[in-house]
Every structure is written in C-alpha cells, then in structure tokens.
Amino acid sequence: MAAQLPDLIWLDGKQMDLYSNPLELYWHQHIRPDFVTSEECKRGYIAKWEIRNDTLMLNRIEGQIKRRYFLFWKKIIPYSLKNLFKKAGDRSVIATWVTGKIRIPQGNRTYYVHEGYESRFEREMVITVQKAKVIKTVVIDYTKQELLFG
C-alpha cells in the first residue's frame, strides 16, 4: 500500500493534514458508496473537517462514486456531503459517530514510510473525541520526547 492522501482539518484558522479517517467509523454503521479509488487514495474520498467550539464537524466530502444504471452500465459521478446527509445540504454536520483519537502531524517530516499514515513528524497532536466533542488534546513532541497538554 502506498502513502495515502490524508483528510484535511481546519484548526485554529489553519488547514492541516489529518492522519485519521473519522468518516470510516460512519461506514461501519452505514452502507458505504462504491467510491472510485486510486493507489494514493484507497478510500476514494477526501473529507474536510473542522473543530469548532470543541466539536468535530464534517464540512465536505470530495470523491467520485460508481452509480449503476440499467443492468450492467455504470457511470462515475461526483460525491459530496449532500449525497451523504441530504437534509444538511452543503452545511457542516456534527460528527456524532466519532469516538476515539484523531491525529494531526505537525512540523517537518522526520521519517518517511511509503504506506498509509506511518510517516513520522517532529510533533503530533492527538485529539480525543467522544461523540464529536473534544475531551482532550495532547501534543507529542518527538524532538524533545515529551507530552504537551493543550
């Protein structure tokens, strides 16, 4: 498996890579669309997130799906947030299905691994979320080998 294109997250007014895929937790409970995948994006989509008022929000989904027409014919069409959450339209959705840790790499990459999200960086922010609510934030500083609580 190749290194993967990450989801993106807005935090403190900056867009950052997200080395977690919180939308995958949603697919464990719901039918997953037939996304068009690539070597660099095996999941077939990039989700864009935001932490607003200590709440994890899903802002956008960018991807393409294969939609079956008639008996055998398939057409590739864009997939967006309004496909998944019709009532939300283009508005952000509170990610209530997310409980766990999300990882945000920070600083320069110090070690590259050509697989998934295994590369390492100078620092890593780990945010613990429970039903979309941020309950703890920790920054691991690998250059100093210490935890910084936020």
Same domain, yes or no, for 73 and 16?
yes
**C-beta separation of 122 from 106 below 8 A:** yes
29 belongs to a structural domain: yes
Mean pLDDT of 46-68: 95
- Taking the C-alpha atoms of residue 39 and residue 124, their distance in angstroms, rounded to an integer, is 25
Same domain, yes or no, for 62 and 106?
no
Same domain, yes or no, for 21 and 73?
yes
Residue ending a domain, choose from 94, 120, 141: 94
Same domain, yes or no, for 49 and 79?
yes
Same domain, yes or no, for 85 and 107?
no
Mean pLDDT of 39-56: 95
Q: Considering its fold, how many domains does the chain have in total?
A: 2
Same domain, yes or no, for 130 and 75?
no
In degrees and rounded to multiples of 5, residue 34 shows phi and psi of: -85, 80
Q: In this predicted structure, what is the pLDDT of residue 119? A: 85
Q: In this predicted structure, what is the pLDDT of residue 90? A: 76
- For 92-150, what is each residue's pLDDT tens digit? 999 999 999 999 999 999 888 887 788 889 999 999 999 999 999 999 998 887 656 65
